[in-house]
Chain A
């Protein structure tokens, strides 16, 4: 059973960089080619896809966040990471990491529990 766990600061100052890591257990990050994704949910709102990365390092980003976003992967540690720069209060959200199964369509089959990140001074 694949499990994902987000970790990182729960409070970030405005204009700083939000950094989160997702640790994957119970499965390989590269076998059978899943992607690894970040998704966020603003308080009381819907889900927003942030981006995802392949184990090779190829990454795809939400165009609305692309200029501030970097997703990286470290398969030796079974981890992938998110960095979002120049944050504002609008980046306050629960951040989820998820596995992306590929095939006829891509879908998010395993999710972490989520971590709340608040942007505030």
Chain B
């Protein structure tokens, strides 16, 4: 099955911009989705189908993709954005198999 690789940790100064990346061959043919998970809580969808935000998600969250890499950008990071972030996509097998990225811990300084 496909793998999605993320940097384990990223830090950003309050109010600055941070980009989280997700790499995997399946991203060449499938969109990425992104989830935010705060400590002790269930994940929350923040971006779907590359760059769509669900209702209630601040517009400082945006997504993009190029080749085998998808990115989640937080423009003007806030203290409440400190969390783990996971990408997710469909496996490149063409079957209904789904994978999650390894996760990135974002620390807001």
B52-87 interface (Cβ within 8 A of A): 54, 86
A-B CB contacts (within 8 Å), total count: 62
B49–A108 CB distance below 8 A: no
Q: Given A63-B97, A113-B42, answer yes or no on A106-B90 (Cβ-Cβ < 8 Å).
A: yes
Tell me the minimal C-beta distance from B90 to chain A in angstroms: 7
Tell me the nearest residue of chain B to A62, going by C-beta. Answer: B97
The one of B42, B44, B98 that contacts A114, using a Cβ cutoff of 8 Å: B42
- Which B residues are in CB contact (< 8 Å) with A43? none
Q: How far is the CA of A96 from the CA of B41 in the complex (A)?
A: 11
For A, the interface residue count at a CB cutoff of 8 angstroms equals 23
B: contact size bracket: 20 to 34
Q: How far is the CA of A63 from the CA of B96 in the complex (A)?
A: 10
B88–A107 CB distance below 8 A: yes
Contact with B along A80-118 (1 / 0, CB 8 A): 000000000000000010000101111111011110000
Residues of B bordering A, CB below 8 Å = 1, 30-31, 33, 35, 41-45, 48-50, 54, 86, 88-90, 95-103
Residues of A bordering B, CB below 8 Å = 39, 46-49, 52, 60, 62-64, 96, 101, 103-109, 111-114
Provide a sorted-by-A list of 23 A–B residue pairs whose CB atoms are within 8 angstroms: A39-B100, A46-B101, A47-B35, A47-B100, A47-B103, A49-B97, A49-B98, A52-B96, A60-B97, A101-B48, A103-B49, A105-B31, A105-B33, A105-B48, A106-B98, A107-B33, A107-B45, A108-B33, A108-B35, A108-B43, A111-B43, A111-B44, A112-B42
